[in-house]
Structure formats: structure tokens, C-alpha cells
Chain A
Amino acid sequence: MLPSVIGDWLRRWNRKLHIYVGLYFVLFTALFAISGLALNRSTWAVFAGGAAKSELEREIDSPSGETQLARARDLMSQLGVSGEIHQIEVPKDVDGLNVWVLRPNRLVIIRARLGERIASVEIQRRAAWDAIRGLHEFTGQSRFDPSVRRDWWLTTVWAIAIDALSLGAIFLVASGIWMWLQLRQKRIGGSIALAGGCLVLFVFLVALKWL
């Protein structure tokens, strides 16, 4: 009797959580599905991007800090710029510090001339579709270079949100399959649908090696 009671409880909560998790992530799912499409079809006119550039100059104090990252952060703080530091460069020919700062919808390039105590701030604002694509890719982590680390707290929060969405998606897949297994009248149709998806995955993940 007990296993049946536990089974009923698990089935009921599996269904409830499938609904709740799905609803919680519905906007995140829509964002990543649409931005994924926009990344794959970036040449489609509907996904046209572009950037608007503006530039200004400000006086600065010599940035303080033990490391280049700390000096770049101090420079950004003086200029009121925040975001993920993409690149720091110390030019060879002048006494300066160049910092590239990324956000999903803009790139800010700071070129500080430390001797003159002046920094030029170039802001490249991305159009809406580029910003949506930017959200998809904004993790502060390089796929190729493991030494690249997130250095802005909001990037870390966004990365946690992406992790949560991924775990939520895995839960939705598993809980959905479990719910379907309880529907005897949908076994054949569901098996065909699931097998189709698995076949596609097998072809691309495994069989392409031989094609």
C-alpha cells in the first residue's frame, strides 16, 4: 500500500513541479529560443543588427590598484562605466591603459592617457536584435580559453540564471518523459516522437564521424 501512496504523491508532485518550473522559466525559454534562432540566422533581414557609436573625453586621476584588473576597475569607477571587462591592454607607445567593457547591448572602449590624465570613452550601442543575441552569449567565459574568468557580479548572476534554466530544462525533459510513461494510450505515438528526437541526436552526435 505504502509504495502506491508514495507513487501517487511522487506523480502528483512531478506534474505540479513540471507546471511550476515550466511557468517560472517561460520567458527565459522564449528569450533563448528566439536569440538562438537570431544567432543562427544573423543574415536574415528581420534580425538585422548594427551599432551606434558615440565618444566623449573625461579628466581622470591616475588609476590605483595592484593589478591591471584593479586599475581597470578603478578607471571604470571614475568614469561611471560598469560591465564585464573583456580585455585590458597597456599600449607600448604611450603611458596609457585601454579597457574593453562589455554588456549585452553595448561595448565601451576606454582609452586612458595617464600622463595627460584624460580618458576617451567610446560607446558602441548595439541594436535590439544584437542585444538579444548578446544576452544569449553573455557568460563572461570563453569556450576556448579556460583562463578567462567572470569579473562582474551581474555576469555571475546571469550565469547562475543560465545554469538554473539548463537544470530546469533537464528537469522538464525528465519529468515530461515520466508523465508520458504513465499514459498507456499515448505509448506508441510518444515512442515514435521520442525515438525520432533520439535518432536525430545520434546522427549528429555520433554517426557524423562516419559520414
Chain B
Amino acid sequence: MSKRLYRWIRDLHLYVGLTISPLVALYAISTLLMVHHWFPPEGDRLPVYADVPVVVDLTDEPVPMARSVLRQTGLTGEIGSVWFEQDPKRIRFQVLKPTETTTVVIDQATNLASAEHQQMGVRRATSFLHVMPGPHLVKIRRNWVWVRIWGWTADAAAYLLLFAAASGVYVWLYAKAERRAGIAFLAVGAAVFVVLVASLVL
């Protein structure tokens, strides 16, 4: 192992670790919140607008149609599921942002749209970012540019976290004074991991 390579890896471990540390903290805190459901009650729904005339193109796919309505009413966000209700005939969809969820309802008889939003708070916002874009609604997910960018950011954080872990092990191998204790912690951690995963899946 050359000294130069070691210095490079050590510096990269430092800079990569510092870059991803706010995101690692976000994922760690949101994990604790979700595992224990430490969320406050949801906030009240407050009206954003009511009975705004909109043009609805029903020949369009649901998400572009909903996006067109958002453009007409000046809203932005990730469009969630779109529901077509029959009696009365209405179109309902959610617009998601980390800190707020807006529900838009369009009366198809009159083409009037109403919207109300709900503040989600910081704790729910962290869990929103944790699970986004995620494995659900993959056909329509990432329909807002910022969720697409967050998806790339989350991917990058995962790759960089793997690099930080691997480079941390590499740097440790150079620290001779920590060799024996390090091997013990690595071995115990690996044993706990293997026993737990095996118990869960076998």
C-alpha cells in the first residue's frame, strides 16, 4: 500500500464524509422517527383557493393533465395518485412537497378547481425525503423536477456512503495501534449482522 494512495484515500474519506454528513444525519434522524412513529398529529387542512376555473384535457394521461391544472393555478410539487370519482364526477389528486401536501379537487361538471393544503412539519418532511422517490408508483413518480433531482441526490448519497465505509476500513488498516480492537469490533458487528439477517430470512 503506497503512502500517497493512503493520503488520497484518507483525504477523500474526510471530504466525502463531510459532504454527506448532513444527509446521513437526515436519514438517521428520519429512521428513528419512522421506526417509532414519533410524529405530531397532522395539521389542519387550510384552503389555498376555491372554485377557480380551469381547462381540463381528459384525453391526456392523468399526470400531465394534473400538471396542466397546477400550471393554471400556480401550484408546484410532485403529483401523487390521481383519482377519478364518479358520483359526483370529480378529479382529485395530491401535490406533494416535503413540508406540505396539497389536495386539488376539480368538479368535472363546472370545471372549477379547489385546493387545500396541510403543513407537514419538519419531522414529516425528513421522512418524506427518506422515502422519496422510493419503490411505489414508479410509473408516475419523479414527475416534478425537484423530486427527480432528489432521487439523483439520494443515489449519490448511497454511493458516497459506500465509498466512505470502504475507505474508512482502508484507512483503519493503516492505524496499527487500532488493529486488534478494530478487528474485534468488525468481527462482533459482522457476527451480529449475520445472525440477525439469518434469523429473519431463514
Q: Give the B-binding residues of A (Cβ under 8 A).
A: 16, 19-31, 33-34, 36-37, 39-43, 103-105, 131, 133, 135, 138-139, 141-143, 146, 154, 157-159, 161-163, 165-167, 169-170, 172-173, 176-177, 180, 183, 186, 189-190, 193-194, 196-198, 200-201, 204-206, 208-209, 211
* Interchain Cβ contacts under 8 Å between A and B, 19 examples: A20-B181, A21-B185, A22-B172, A24-B185, A26-B168, A27-B189, A40-B134, A141-B37, A146-B39, A165-B31, A166-B32, A167-B28, A176-B21, A193-B15, A194-B21, A200-B22, A201-B26, A205-B26, A208-B98
Separation of A115 and B37 alpha carbons in the complex (Å): 39
Note all chain A residues with C-beta closer than 8 A to B135.
Answer: 39-40, 42, 133
Is B186 among interface residues, defined by CB-CB distance under 8 A? yes
Instruction: Indicate whether A190 sits within 8 Å of B15 (C-beta atoms), given known contacts A19-B178, A25-B189, A204-B98.
Output: yes
Separation of A19 and B22 alpha carbons in the complex (Å): 19
Is B70 among interface residues, defined by CB-CB distance under 8 A? no
Note all chain A residues with C-beta closer than 8 A to B201.
Answer: 103-105, 131, 135
- Binary CB contact string for chain B from 173 to 202 against chain A (1 if under 8 A, 0 otherwise): 001001001100110111011101101110
Main secondary structure of the interface of B (DSSP, over half): helix
Q: Give the A-binding residues of B (Cβ under 8 A).
A: 11, 14-29, 31-32, 34-37, 39, 76, 97-100, 122, 125-127, 129, 131, 133-135, 138, 146, 150-151, 153-155, 158-159, 161-162, 165, 168-169, 172, 175, 178, 181-182, 185-186, 188-190, 192-194, 196-197, 199-201
Q: Which of A34, A41, A135, A205 contacts B162 (CB 8 A)?
A: A34
Note all chain B residues with C-beta closer than 8 A to A161.
Answer: 192, 196
Q: Which of B34, B168, B188 contacts A139 (CB 8 A)?
A: B34
Q: Which of A40, A177, A211 contacts B18 (CB 8 A)?
A: A177
Note all chain A residues with C-beta closer than 8 A to B178.
Answer: 16, 19-20
Main secondary structure of the interface of A (DSSP, over half): helix
Q: Which residue of A lies closest to B154 (CB)?
A: A40
Separation of A193 and B201 alpha carbons in the complex (Å): 39
Note all chain B residues with C-beta closer than 8 A to A37.
Answer: 155, 158-159
Q: Which of B20, B29, B34, B133 contacts A141 (CB 8 A)?
A: B34
Separation of A41 and B155 alpha carbons in the complex (Å): 9
Q: Which residue of B lies closest to A210 (CB)?
A: B76
Note all chain B residues with C-beta closer than 8 A to A103.
Answer: 200-201
Between A16, A19, A104, A154, the greatest number of chain B beta carbons within 10 A of the residue's beta carbon is seen for A19
Note all chain B residues with C-beta closer than 8 A to A177.
Answer: 18, 21
A123 to chain B, nearest CB (A): 13
Note all chain B residues with C-beta closer than 8 A to A33.
Answer: 158-159, 161-162, 165
Instruction: Indicate whether A176 sits within 8 Å of B165 (C-beta atoms), given known contacts A24-B185, A204-B153.
Output: no
Q: Which of A30, A154, A197 contacts B23 (CB 8 A)?
A: A197
Contact A138–B200 (Cβ < 8 Å): yes
Note all chain B residues with C-beta closer than 8 A to A21.
Answer: 185
Note all chain B residues with C-beta closer than 8 A to A176.
Answer: 14, 17-18, 21
Separation of A139 and B34 alpha carbons in the complex (Å): 9
Separation of A170 and B173 alpha carbons in the complex (Å): 23
